Amino acid sequence: MFFHIVLERNMQLHPRHFGRDLRDKLVTKLMKDVEGTCSGRHGFIVAITGIESVGKGLIRDGTGFVTFPVKYQCVVFRPFKGEILEAVVTMVNKMGFFAEAGPVQIFVSNHLIPDDMEFQSGDMANYTTSDGSVKIQKDSEVRLKIIGTRVDATEIFCIGTIKDDFLGVISDPGAAS
Amino acid sequence: MGSHEALSVDPFKRLVKLAARAFYDDITTKGDKQPKTGRSDNRGIAVVVLDALTRRQWVREEDLAKDLKLHSKQLRRTLRFFEEEKLVTRDHRKETAKGAKIYSAAVAATGDGQPGGREGDEKLKMHTHSYCCLDYAQLKDELESKNTVQEYICPNCSKRYTALDALRLISPHDEYFHCESCDGVLVAEADKLAAQELGDGDDNARRRRHEKLKDMLQNMEEQLKPLMDQLGRVKDLTVPEFGSLQAWELQNAAGRAANGDHGNDPSKSSQGFGFGGTPMPYVGETKVEVDFSGIDGKGEIKSENGNAPMKVLPPWMIRQGMKLTEEQRGETKQEAKMAGSLTAVESSDDKKITDEKDDVKNIQDEYVKAYYAALLKRQR
């Protein structure tokens, strides 16, 4: 799920950036530092949408660096148990398959793949129904439900299922080509 | 009012009992590593403790241990387990002489013998049925997720992983998961079970395993049905809440004062309740007889006024549609007493206080009359 929230961060800026465009430098650095990171608390920071406020800078002893407390608005993405996501399959193996929904990695174990789908090894490992009409392989798009998340300080990993109504392949690159 | 309150408490008690039997039947509080010899096998203790708690409100751990004839260490271990399971609330405090007095003044439902007790860490606990509901939900989740979050086990070093570790376990060389420590090929746990029991016939085994799981699930649903029913019944009722220890003490002390009772008579324990009552701190000193007419595995203390000798049907034997007296259902009556009229509670300790006995009898008779009147009214 996506959230639009306000976060705060202390930015350290080198004295060489001090000047007319100090603020721009600060924002650029903030984006570089923060976007794409993941915190267990808030989820993945997808994009910074605006700066709320930049506090008074504090010169640090010894280095000359200045610390600014910056409040910024950003879009974060945090997966939840029970959430339905659309994801792209990145790897298929005997144990199941891995998929990505944006920054989140999701693993679907073979127990959570419908029973009528069988693993086919080979050049392009895949899960296929017995009649061959549905195939899950690398780059397939699947709709899945998250049934568990593991949230570390800097990492979120999910496990999902496609063994439920309306879940499974939503577009099949193999069929199109 | 008494009987009404009691009736709303009763389903919760039954729920606790059912849940205890369903889920905590074979819990041992020993570590897994210790060998289970016949003597140290303490399965079933958990059920006993939970049952005992349904018959009490707040109680001192030492007293409970004495009542159950358990070692206090063992009891504490069990209680800690239930605390973690969110079934039991405990309160720890330093007890001064004054504190002990307050507590003993509030012994409407518990018993305390030492108003002048020494300083020490006092631990009391209560059971809150709402927690039981919560806990049940949690348990159900767990059971369900057992079927979903796949577990993997290393056959070499028997290290366990879950599907959540999948990212760390994939190997670039083949399509299996590998153990982090010994690089062995991991086996999915259900697969392992199936392999053990059915040998390996890849496709067939999988199907059979599936059937087996289905059977298990069905079994579980069947066995849990009474519990579910009870849960459904309990859902709309208000939860009996004893409040914090302090609040509970205040309330009970107030009730006692209102009854004009002299509050610190230590012999005012609750022997009169029979098994339905509350802790009996003087078990060691009073004469105890096992009441054979009341054998129901509870080792009931014989009560002299004989108001509880009827057999209590264990909760798993009670089916819907059975016609039961309140006595057969269990503690309803005693509970009614407890919740209902403090007067009855306070003075039902006819234990060897002969001059109070008549008084007590009167009150009890009165109470029984009122109770049956209420019951009749309800049945109409």
pLDDT band at A176; cut points 50, 70, 90: very low
Whether residue B72 is predicted with pLDDT greater than 90 in this model: the reply is no
Instruction: Please state whether beta strands A96-101 and B120-127 pair in parallel, antiparallel, or not at all (unpaired).
Output: unpaired
Nearest to B234 by CA among B16, B1, B3, B2: B16
Domain count, chain B: 2
Are B277 and B218 within one domain? no
> Around Cβ B336, how many Cβ atoms within 10 Å?
28
**Domain co-membership, B151 together with B41:** no
Percent of chain B with pLDDT over 90: 0
- At position B215, the amino acid (one-letter code) is D
Q: Does A107 touch chain B (CB under 8 A)?
A: yes
Q: Which ipTM was obtained for this model?
A: 0.71
Q: Which of B18-22, B200-204, B213-217 has the lowest mean pLDDT?
A: B200-204
Q: How far apart are CA B267 and CA B281, in angstroms?
A: 9
* Cβ–Cβ contact A151 with B under 8 A: no
Q: How far apart are the CA of A64 and the nearest CA of chain B, in angstroms?
A: 42
Look up residue A109 and give its two tokens.
């174990």
First to last CA, chain B: 17
In the prediction, which pLDDT does A3 show? 95
Burial class (CB in 10 A: 0-12, 13-18, 19+), B323: exposed
Other residues' Cβ atoms within 10 Å of the Cβ of residue B306:
10
Query: In this model, does residue A145 exceed pLDDT 90?
Result: yes
Class of residue A161 by CB neighbours under 10 A (exposed 0-12, middle 13-18, buried 19+)? buried
Q: Clarify whether residues B151 and B288 are in a common domain.
A: no
Residues B28, B91, single domain; the answer is: yes
Single out the residue in B234, B268, B286 at which a domain terminates: B234
Are B164 and A159 within 8 A, CB to CB? Answer: yes
Residues B120 and B148 in one domain: no
pLDDT for the residue B209: 64
**Range of lowest pLDDT (B148-152, B207-211, B364-368):** B207-211
Confidence (pLDDT) at B1: 44
Q: Which of B164, B199, B234 is the last residue of a domain?
A: B234
Which letter, b or e, does each residue of A68-99 get, where b requires 16 or more Cβ atoms within 10 Å of its Cβ?
A: bebebebbbbbbeeebebebbbebbbebbbbb
Q: Of B189, B211, B234, which residue is a domain's last?
A: B234
B364 with B311, same domain: the answer is: yes
Does residue A5 register a pLDDT over 90? Answer: yes
pLDDT one-digit tens code per residue, B327-337: 555 544 444 44
Q: Which domains does chain A have, with CATH numbers?
A: 2-77 (3.30.1490.120), 84-176 (2.40.50.140)
Query: Would you state the pLDDT for residue B6?
Result: 46
Q: Which residue has the higher pLDDT, B332 or B274?
A: B332
Using 50, 70 and 90 to split pLDDT, how confident is the model at A101?
A: very high
In which domain, by residue range, is B187 found? 136-234
pLDDT in the model for residue B236: 62
Regarding whether B58 and B160 lie in a shared domain, the answer is no
Cβ <8 Å between B167 and A98: yes
B205 or A77: whose pLDDT is higher? A77
Which range (A105-119, A143-157, B229-243) has the least confidence? B229-243
What integer is the mean pLDDT of A104-133? 89
pLDDT digits (tens, 9 = 90+) for B141-170: 555 554 467 788 888 888 888 888 888 888
The β-bridge relationship of strands A141-151 and A84-93 is antiparallel
* B153 and B181 both lie in a single domain: yes
Pair (B144, B111) in one structural domain? no
The pLDDT of residue A172: 55
Claim to verify: residue B224 and residue B273 sit in the same structural domain: no
Mean pLDDT of chain A: 90
What mean pLDDT is predicted for residues B316-336? 57
**CATH number reported for the structural domain that contains residue B152 in this entry:** 3.30.40.10
For residue B148, the chain A residue with the least C-alpha distance is A112
Same domain, B50 and B73: yes
